[in-house]
Amino acid sequence: MVLNILRPIFLLIGTGYGSVKLGLLTAEQIKSLGGYVIKIALPALILSSLASKNLHDIWLPPYLFAYAGGSLLIYALAYRLYRSHFSYPLTQAAVMSMGASMSNTGLIGSAILPLLLPDRAVIYLSLTLMIENLLMMTMVLLLAEAGLQAQHRTSVMLYHAVKNLLKNPLVIAILLAMCAVIFELHLPQILNNLLTVLGKTASPLALLVIGGQFGWYSLAGT
């Protein structure tokens, strides 16, 4: 069973790697595919999958509290290390700590999780992205903004942080999906079909992008 799961993962990563090595895809094309996954395919997957669920299916407090608590703990430890030991300024420490506490959910998570948990993957993926985008990113943006513009009030910084988040397609998809779940709304069939088709491209293309990035980094280093 493990081989059945791992085989398509490595084949797709290898395809992306080989495509770059052979010159079939360039770095800019790989970057564009990554943008498509994050900004179109993954939001479509989340919206089409969650909108058909009920609140009982997706409300998992133990997972939310465990993932949020672990993320905040790692962030706090990393932030303290960068500030006290390395003497980084506030903004730089805030951004570096984000790298320590947030996983690559957009590409790696969205690619592998559906293969491991096909029935529940989108639920866990959505909850993870909700914590990372609505909780962690808001905190990071506030800290970074505080370091850059110390004279601004907290309310102003919070406004800019929320404004930036609401431009994120992933956040928009999560909020729309949650509204559909809470108010028991259903997407029009033609829209649901379109989002489903787009969502199915998220996992394979994410793995292709990962392989392409490996290929490009090795080329850039030679």
Render pLDDT for 88-115 as a digit per residue (tens, 0 to 9): 988 889 889 998 898 878 778 877 887 7
**% the chain with pLDDT above 90:** 42
Q: Tell me phi and psi for residue 167, to 5 degrees.
A: -90, -10
- The SS3 call for residue 43 is helix
Lowest-pLDDT choice from 54-58, 155-159, 200-204: 155-159
The per-residue pLDDT for 140 is 86
- The SS3 call for residue 86 is coil
Give burial (CB, 10 Å; 0-12/13-18/19+) of 53. Answer: middle
The per-residue pLDDT for 111 is 79
Lowest-pLDDT choice from 107-116, 119-128, 156-165, 175-184: 156-165
Q: Which pLDDT band holds residue 193 (cuts at 50, 70, 90)? A: very high
Render pLDDT for 136-155 as a digit per residue (tens, 0 to 9): 988 888 887 777 665 455 56
The per-residue pLDDT for 150 is 54
Contact 136, 75 (CB under 8 A): yes
pLDDT at 219 over 70: no
Every domain of the chain and the residues it spans: 29-51+60-216
- Return the higher-pLDDT residue of 51 and 24: 24
Q: Which two tokens stand for residue 77?
A: 């430890």
Name the average pLDDT for the chain.
Answer: 86
Tell me the average pLDDT across 57-61: 86
CA pair distance 101, 75, nearest whole angstrom: 5
The per-residue pLDDT for 35 is 94
